[in-house]
Amino acid sequence: MALAAFLLIATIAVAAALGLVLKRNPIHGALFLVVNLGSIAALYLLMGYEFLAFAQVIVYAGAIMVLFVFAIMVLIPGKEETGPDPRRPWRLLAGPLAAVLLLELVVVVAARRAAPAAPPPPPGFPAGLSILFTDFLFPFELTSVLLLAAMVGVLLLARRRA
């Protein structure tokens, strides 16, 4: 049962990823990416990590994709990929290169040592992720500084110079 669900979700994720890469219109690509991020959130749920799944939906499928769609609406791209490709031979090389990368990854995954018997997944936020406030407290605080720095930087970059 869980395996069937995994295979279904994985198929949707791969199809949506292919749609992002192959579809010409960036807004279609953005919607495909939302589907892909949602299916990964479903995989997190399948593993029993509810908090991660909701964070994925809120942060990625919510905040980040809204930003992308805004950017697409503001810039109205789409004309870039019409007309002759000035670097066509190089782009044709991308397929074989990606195939080599996939081969490498599969070899690495296949060659790794088998996992020890997996213990049951830890519970959600209250017990498991409280390490965010103990062991990982410093990176956690650092993250807030990073987000603040990013916000100030974006304001500076996007400001219209009068």
Partner 1 sequence: MIPEAYYLALSAVLFTIGVAGVLVRRNPLVIFMSIELAVNAANLALVAFGQRSGGAEGQALVLFVMAVAAAEVSVGLAIIVVIFRARQRLSIDDLSLLRW
End-to-end CA distance of the chain: 61
Shortest distance, CB of residue 162 to partner 1, whole angstroms?
14
Shortest distance, CB of residue 134 to partner 1, whole angstroms?
10
What is the phi-psi region of residue 85: left when phi exceeds 0, alpha when psi lies from -120 to 50, beta otherwise? beta
Nearer to partner 1, 26 or 162 (CB): 26
Nearer to partner 1, 49 or 162 (CB): 49
Nearer to partner 1, 118 or 162 (CB): 118
Shortest distance, CB of residue 128 to partner 1, whole angstroms?
3
Q: Could you give the residue ranges of the DSSP H alpha helices within the chain?
A: 2-22, 26-47, 50-55, 65-75, 88-111, 137-158
